[in-house]
Amino acid sequence: MPAAIEVNAMNVVKMKNITKRFGSLVANDNIDFDLRKGEIHALLGENGAGKTTLMRILYGLYRADEGEICVNDNLVNISSPKDAIREGIGMVTQHFTLVPPLSVAENIVLGATDGFLLNPKKIRRLVTEASEKYGIAIKPEALVRNLSVGERQRVEILKALYRKAKVLIMDEPTAVLVPQEVETLFNSLNQLVSQELSVVFISHKLNEVMAICGRITVLRGGKLTGTVEHKDTSEKELAKMMVGRETFGVTRQQDKEPGEPILTIANLSFTDEQGLERLKDVSLEVRCGEVLSVAGVSGNGQSELVKILTGLKKPTSGRVVLNGRDITGSPPAVITAAGMGRTPEDRHAGVIGDLSVAENLALENLDEYKKRGMLDRKLVREHAAKLIEEYQIKATPEDHVRTLSGGNMQKVVMARALSRKPCCVLAAQPTRGLDVGATEYVRSKLLEQSDRGAGVLVVSEDLNEVMELSDRIAVMYEGRIMGIIPALEASEEKLGLMMAGVLEKDETKIL
C-alpha cells in the first residue's frame, strides 16, 4: 500500500504536486487542487493557463509526470477515462461525444449496458428515472440530431451521472451556449451539488465564476496562483490573479502624430451557421503608424473578426475599407493585393507543412514568380534566401515547413506577410506558443511596421503583449467592442474588467 497522505474527510478529490510537461513546455507546474463534497469549484485562468490539462489528468486523458491523485482519501492510479469513471469521475467537454442518429436514452446507456440484449422500454425507464432524480429535463426518446446544443449538453451531463459520477468536470460549458441555456445549466448544476455531487467548472469568464462557484482556483501560465473563497473575493481581484501582477515595461509611448485612417471597419456583424451572433456592430479604425490591439478572452468574436479581415469569411453586414478600397467579403487574394499583410490565428492554417519554405513564401503572390505559367524556381529560391536572412529564419529554402519550430514557422508567416511592404498589417495571436526570443523578435518586427508608417492591427489574448505593443487598445466581449482606450490609460485591472464584460469604456473614467 502506498503511504497515506494528508487526510481530509471533506475532499472527494485531492490532486497533489501535479506536474505535466509537453516537450519543453510545462503545462502544469507543481499544482495542488482539491474538491470538496457538494461544491462547485471553479478552475479559472486564461487560455493556455493549464486548466484543461489538469482536468484531463484527473479524467485519465493525460498522465501526470509527477504528483498524485486521491479520490475519497484513497491514492488512485488513473491511466484512462475508464479508471476515472470507475472512481466516479465524469467529464463533459465542449466537443460532445454523442451519436446523432441514436435516441437520447440510447446515447446515455451506450457502453454502460449489461448483457447483450437491449430492452428499449427498460432503458427508457432507467433514463427517465435518472432524469427525474437529478432534475435534468430531457426527452428520452428524442433523437440527438434534433437537439439544440444546450439539450445535447444536458444529455452529456446525464450520461456521466448515469455512470455513477460523483464528480463532474465541466470544461468551459458555457462557451457553446446562448444566455438562456446558461441559466438552465446553472440551475441544473446547483441542483446537483444539493445532492452531494461535486462539480469542477473550468472557465475564463469571471462573471460566470462569480455567479455559481463556491471556491475558485486560479491558474496562470501553468502555475497555481491561489484558491479563494467566493465570499472573500471580487471580480476585480480575480481578474488580477488571472492576468498577473507584474508591471510591464512599456517601451514606446512617445506622443506620435496619428496618421490618416488606413483600415476602416464599420458596423460589422456576423452570424454563424448555428445562428449565433458572433459579431455585433463592430467598428474600428486603424490609422497609419499606429498599433491598435484587440484584446479579449478567446471566443468573444476575435476569431470571426480575423476571419473576415483575412478573407476567409463574409460578414453578415457592415463594411471593411482598406486604403480607400472596399474589401468587404473579398477573397484573400484581393485583400492581399489591396495591401493587407496578414498572419493567421493558427500558423498551421497559414503555411503548408508539406511544401518547402521557398514555396510557402511564394504562394501568396505567385504571379510575380511565373514565366509563361512555369515557376521561375531561381527567383523563388532567391526571394526565399533573402527573406530567410532578413528574418533570421533557421531553415534553408528547400526545407519542408513541417520540420520547422513554431518560432521559425511564425517567422515564415511574418516574412511572407511583410515582404511586400503592406500598408496595413493584421497580426492575429502573433506570439501564441512561441518562446521568449521568438516572441520579442515578432513584436519588434510589428513595431517596425508601424514605424514605417503602416497601420498595425494586433488581435491577441495576451494582455502583456497588448500593453507592450499598442497605442490604443480595443476590448471585445461577446462580439461587441466594450471600448477603446489609449494604452497609456490602460491597466491590466481595467482591461481585465472590460474583458470580463463588467466595465464599459464610459465607466472606466470613474475608476
Partner 1 sequence: MLKLRIEKAPAPAWVRSVIPLFAILVTFIITLVFIVWVRVNPLHTYYYFLVAPFTSTVSMIELLVKATPLFLTGAAVAFAFRSGYYNIGAEGQLMAGAIMGAWLGVMLKGSTPWVALPVMIVGGFIGGVLWALIPALLRVKLKVDEVVTTLLMNSVIVYLVSYLLNGPWRDPISMWPQSPDIASSAMFFILLPRSRLHFGFILGMITIAVIWFVINRSGFGLKMRAAGSNATAARFAGVDIEKTILTTALVSGGIAGLAGVGEIAGVHFHLIQGFSSNLGYTGIVVATLGALNPLGVGIAALFMGLIETGSLTVSRALGVPVYLGQVVQATLMLVTLGMFILTGYRLKREG
State the residues that interact with partner 1 by CB under 8 A.
310-312, 331-333, 336, 342, 344, 348-355, 359-360, 362-367, 369-370, 373-375, 377, 400, 402, 416
Give CA–CA dist 1/90, Å, rounded: 26
State the Cα angle at 261 between 449 and 442, rounded to 5°.
20
Q: Are 391 and 415 in contact (CB under 8 A)?
A: yes
In the complex, what is the shortest distance from the CB of residue 139 to partner 1, in angstroms, rounded to a whole number? Answer: 32
In the complex, what is the shortest distance from the CB of residue 16 to partner 1, in angstroms, rounded to a whole number? Answer: 21
C-beta closer to partner 1: residue 143 or 312? 312
C-beta closer to partner 1: residue 157 or 414? 414
In the complex, what is the shortest distance from the CB of residue 89 to partner 1, in angstroms, rounded to a whole number? Answer: 21
In the complex, what is the shortest distance from the CB of residue 335 to partner 1, in angstroms, rounded to a whole number? Answer: 8
C-beta closer to partner 1: residue 343 or 460? 343
- CA separation (Å) from 344 to 207, 301, 325, 381, 406? 30, 15, 22, 24, 13
Q: Are 380 and 369 in contact (CB under 8 A)?
A: yes
CA dihedral 194, 195, 198, 202 (to 10 degrees): -60
C-beta closer to partner 1: residue 159 or 313? 313
C-beta closer to partner 1: residue 179 or 373? 373
Q: Is 460 helix (H, G, I), strand (E, B) or coil?
A: strand
Neighbours of 115 (CB within 10 A): 6
Q: Is 57 helix (H, G, I), strand (E, B) or coil?
A: helix
In the complex, what is the shortest distance from the CB of residue 364 to partner 1, in angstroms, rounded to a whole number? Answer: 5
In the complex, what is the shortest distance from the CB of residue 274 to partner 1, in angstroms, rounded to a whole number? Answer: 18
C-beta closer to partner 1: residue 53 or 336? 336
In the complex, what is the shortest distance from the CB of residue 347 to partner 1, in angstroms, rounded to a whole number? Answer: 9
- What's the grid cell of residue 450? 508601424
C-beta closer to partner 1: residue 143 or 379? 379
Q: Are 295 and 501 in contact (CB under 8 A)?
A: no
Give CA–CA dist 199/197, Å, rounded: 7
CA dihedral 243, 245, 246, 248 (to 10 degrees): 60
